[in-house]
Amino acid sequence: MPRVLNGAEIAAEIKQEVAAEVKALATHGIRPGLAVVLVGSVAASVIYVRGKVQSCADLGLYSELITPPATVTTAEMLALVAQLNAREDLDGILIQLPLPAQVDTKALLDAIDPAKDVDGFHPINAGRVQAGQPALAPCTPAGVIEILQRSAIPISGQHAVVVGRSDIVGKPAAMLLLHQNATVTICHSKTRNLAEITRQADILVAAIGRPGFIGAEMIKPGATIIDVGINRIADRAQFERFFAGNAKREAAFNKRGSVVIGDVHPAAFEVSSAYTPVPGGVGLLTIAMLMANTVRAARMRRGMAL
């Protein structure tokens, strides 16, 4: 039986460590602060933001929720970011995506002070991650490394294949794996003979954003699978393709009209030695790593040891 890498347990462990760091910083009169900017009221974004604000409260961080209207302009958002950059009581700035169409997302993210860029999206932080310098790394790729390390899965000398080349997950995940001495191959939608390459992977990171795309025939027996994908399927035929005979998923589908699946076909997990489930895997690390990045930013901004 393959081993299930429990994201909830690992996230809880990281949050405990963050809470301890927050208490230690309090002895120096420091309370890390995070500003969360939520534009409009997209239901999914509201849920995500609520979880982030609650995590701050649970761990002792200061948080501030700022809610511009959905009609906000790029100029107004840039002015807000400038104000947040200037505030000494804030160590992190997070802008919940997606933003309304009229807002220039790239300009806004580039305007955030790199020292407060707790999402790790700024080009300066991307460059620091590539160079192996102290940086605020994107939360999801950082969570991938935490899962592997805390699960005692070897990275050094292993062949890691990353399927997906986004600036948010694929590229930084590949770079962080490289810094852990893995041999890394990056694949994407234009890669030829993709299955031949994925079958060489000791560690396969699936981050291509296509439900159940990685099949069992694409997995090397005994590989570790890190499934970053979060895809919602509401079509009955598609559900049957992935979850036929799964009573638990059937009940969930009938109740909600949809279920969540990763980028890996459930049958592929049986070929692996270990895997992250969806839900319950990498996704749960994202908020934990955001909290860790906020504390890291607080220390870095003050020239404290990491």
Positions annotated as catalytic residues are: 52, 96, 119
Residue 184 pairs in a beta bridge with 160
Residue 231 pairs in a beta bridge with 261
Rounded to 10°, the helix 236-243/247-256 angle is 160
User: Among positive and negative, which fits the CA dihedral 155, 157, 158, 160?
Assistant: positive
* CA proximity to 225, closest of 179, 171, 161: 161
Structural contact between residues 172 and 141, judged by C-beta atoms closer than 8 angstroms: yes
- Scored b (16 or more CB within 10 A) or e, 229-238 reads bbbebeeeee
User: Among positive and negative, which fits the CA dihedral 258, 243, 150, 169?
Assistant: negative
- In the DSSP assignment, the letter for residue 115 is G
